[in-house]
Chains A and B, each alone.
Chain A
Amino acid sequence: QVQLVQSGAEVKKPGASVKVSCKASGYTFTSYDINWVRQATGQGLEWMGWMNPNSGNTGYAQKFQGRVTMTRNTSISTAYMELSSLRSEDTAVYYCARGADYYAGWGQGTLVTVSS
C-alpha cells in the first residue's frame, strides 16, 4: 500500500534551518508529485510547494520563496523539504502529500518547533 513516512520531530533555534524527509513506498516514487503542507497548532492547512520527483522541478508558494528548498533522492525514494531562517511562526506540523491536482496520500506529519 502507498505509504509516506516522515522523519521525526525537530526543535530548532530562530535563524536555523530544518530539513524534513518523506520516504515513499508502495508505488513508483517518480510517478507522482510530492507537495508540502504545514499546519500551525489550531490553524488551517497552508500549502508550501510542490516537487516533481522525476524531473526535480519545483514550485513554491510566494510566501516561502527564497526560504524553502525541495529536493529528492530517487535512489531511496525520499523527498526532502528544507526551510531556512526559521522563526517562531514556523512552528507547525509539516506534511508531505502525494499527488498533482489533489493529495490522496499523506505522511504522518513532522512537528517542527522553533524556540530559543
Chain B
Amino acid sequence: EIVLTQSPATLSLSPGERATLSCRASQSVSSYLAWYQQKPGQAPRLLIYDASNRATGIPARFSGSGSGTDFTLTISSLEPEDFAVYYCQQRSNWPPLYTFGQGTKLEIK
C-alpha cells in the first residue's frame, strides 16, 4: 500500500503570504496525485488533479507541481478563505486503490 506523508502538519501564515505544502509518496504514483481543500463542516473540494491541473473554478493562486514521489501545492498569496485543511490523494495503477495523506492544517498566524 502506498503511503502519503504530508508536511508540515500545521502551517501558520498571514494573509498575503505564500504557502507551500508538501506531499511525499512511499513509492512512485506517476502523476496520479490530487489535492483537496476542506473547511469545517464541509465536504472536501477538489483543487488540483493529475498533480498540476487546476479543477474547474479554482483560482489561479493555487498551483500544483511534482511527479513520482514528491509533490507540492503552492498558494501564491493567501486569502482569508484559504485557511483550511489540505489533503493529497493518490491512485495506484491496478488494482485501483486510493489513499489520502494525513492532511496539513493551514492556520492564520
Contact = CB atoms under 8 A, between A and B. Distances in A.
Interface size class of A (residues with CB under 8 A): 20 to 34
B32 to A, nearest CB: 6
Interface stretch (B14-22, B44-52, B75-83): B44-52
B11 interface: no
Interface of B: 1, 32, 34, 36, 38, 43-46, 49-50, 55-56, 87, 89, 91, 95-103
Interface of A: 35, 37, 44-47, 50, 59, 61-62, 95, 97, 100-104, 106-109
Nearest to A6: B43
Given A104-B55, A104-B56, A44 B87 contact: yes
A103 B92 CA distance: 15
Contacts of A37: 44, 100
B100 A95 contact: no
Contacts, number: 59
B91 to A, nearest CB: 5
A59 B91 CA distance: 12
Given A35-B98, A100-B91, A109-B43, 8 more contacts: A44-B100, A45-B38, A45-B103, A47-B100, A59-B96, A103-B46, A104-B55, A108-B43
A104 B54 CA distance: 11
A59 B87 contact: no
A108 B87 CA distance: 18
A32 B99 CA distance: 19
